[in-house]
Amino acid sequence: MTWDALWPLLWQGTLDTLWMVVPAALCAQLIGTALGVLLTLTRPDGLHPQRPLFRVLDAAVNVGRSLPFIILLVLLIPFTRLITGTSIGSTAAIVPLTVAAIPFVARLVDGALKDVPRGVVDAARAMGASTAQTVFKVLLPEARPALIHAFTVMIVSLIGYSAMAGAIGGGGLGDLAIRYGYQRFETGVMIATVAALLVLVQLTQWAGDRAAARSDHR
């Protein structure tokens, strides 16, 4: 294949990948952060211990994280169809990607919040901070660099997952690699695709690291 033919394919593949990853990442960060905060608050030594709720959430997050993505993809087909009206294509892939990333983010956020020193939280409580104020004025802002780092790691994973979603017709760079590189033995396309994925991952990681470092005043 010539560059002239390859270039539009790569470009479209990259756009499709981004179209899957970016909305999924944003949704997952929102829901996953909420879940992570809930885990932190309800754990036995948290601000509002709720043992049963914590156990359920904790187990759900663990199960969600241990489920292989390709299985999740298949399991979620009815749910995906319900939400997007279809189970194939890039848009449909947003749903399983989001679901896969939520427990991942929840765990990272939970860990990031746990690193906020207890004394700082106690100080805020003693100043009269409500639970909501403790979360929004102390826990989340103090954990910001770790949250940015979590977001970065999650996007990188999603780029990888999106390549798998491509395998079942999700489009994107993974789809390109399978259709040309694997099914048609176009090694050049395969290499170009891998290079594109690498660039995407590196750019994400670099931007994420930079943002985290800039936001950290410790």
Partner 1 sequence: MPDLTPPDVLDFQNVSKTYPGQPRPALNDLTLRVPRGSRTGVIGRSGAGKSTLVRLISGLETPDAGRLLVRGDALGPATRAAHQARTGLVFQQFNLLAQRTVLRNVTLPLELRGVPRARRDALAREHLDLVGLGEYAGRYPAQLSGGQKQRVGIARALVTAPDLLLADEATSALDPETSAGILNLLLDLQRERDLTLVIVTHQLEVVRAVTTHVAVLDAGQLVETGETAAVLRAPRHAATRALLDAHRPQVPLAPDETLRRVTLPDLNPDTLAALARAGARIVQAEPHPQGLDVWIAAPAASPEWAVLA
Contact positions vs partner 1 (CB under 8 A) = 117, 119-120, 122-130, 133, 137-138, 141-142, 144-145, 215-218
Which tokens sit at 184? Answer: 């048609």
Q: In angstroms, what is the minimal distance from the CB of 136 to partner 1?
A: 11
62 or 131: CB nearest partner 1: 131
The least distance separating partner 1 from the CB of residue 217, rounded to whole angstroms, comes to 4
CB of 134 to partner 1, least distance (A): 9
The residue (of 209 and 216) whose beta carbon lies closer to partner 1 is: 216
- For partner 1, give the closer residue by CB, 26 or 123: 123
* Cβ–Cβ < 8 Å for 17, 162: yes
CA distance 71 to 83: 19
Cβ proximity to partner 1: between 46 and 160 the closer is: 46
Provide the minimum distance between the beta carbon of 40 and partner 1 in the complex, in angstroms, as a whole number.
17
- Least Cβ distance, residue 213 to partner 1 (angstroms): 13
Nearest residue (CB) to partner 1, 185 versus 217: 217
How far, in Å, CA of 32 to CA of 147, rounded?
Answer: 11
58, two tokens: 């904790």
